[in-house]
Amino acid sequence: MISSSVGFAVGNGLILKTPDGGANWNVQFQSNTNLYSVRFADANTGWAVGDNNIFKTTDGGTNWTQSMNNTSNLRSVYCINNRTAWLLEAMEIFIETTDGGSDLDRSTHQQSEQSPMLSGL
């Protein structure tokens, strides 16, 4: 949620926005990509991730652009600020961007009995 009334959801290639706390939902963006997670760093900057794509908005979700493709199967995104975000691939690889999504830095999470399989951030 961006505020107590404005929020976003993703699924089936859609980015949906509610302006009224979930009473109504409007399609903001449609893609051929399955989308699994959407998060905002502030009222303007947000990322949506899914199969092989990262989409970004800098105007509160009105317009979305493809920030990067061929990124593998992204399952989750967590925004630190408008330039830094953490992403999680399906194969438990953490990805960090510190320049708004232009470049990605990958690191692998080694699964053990003490660290169960990751599914979200």
Looking at the domain assignment, is residue 60 inside a domain? yes
Specify the 3-state DSSP secondary structure of 118.
coil
Segments forming the whole domain that contains residue 33: 7-108
Contacts of 92 (CB under 8 A, 6+ apart): 108, 109, 111, 117, 118
- Looking at per-residue pLDDT, the higher value among 111 and 31 belongs to 31
- Rounded to an integer, the average pLDDT of 26-40 is 94
Looking at the domain assignment, is residue 72 inside a domain? yes
Looking at the domain assignment, is residue 82 inside a domain? yes
Looking at the domain assignment, is residue 118 inside a domain? no
- Looking at per-residue pLDDT, the higher value among 71 and 2 belongs to 2
Q: Which residue has the tokens 């990262």?
A: 54
Number of compact structural domains in the chain:
1
Contact 71, 84 (CB under 8 A): no
Angstrom distance (rounded) from CA 56 to CA 36 = 14
Looking at the domain assignment, is residue 120 inside a domain? no
Percent of the chain past pLDDT 70, that is, above it, reads 77
Looking at the domain assignment, is residue 2 inside a domain? no
CATH number of the domain that residue 19 is part of: 2.120.10.30
Looking at the domain assignment, is residue 119 inside a domain? no
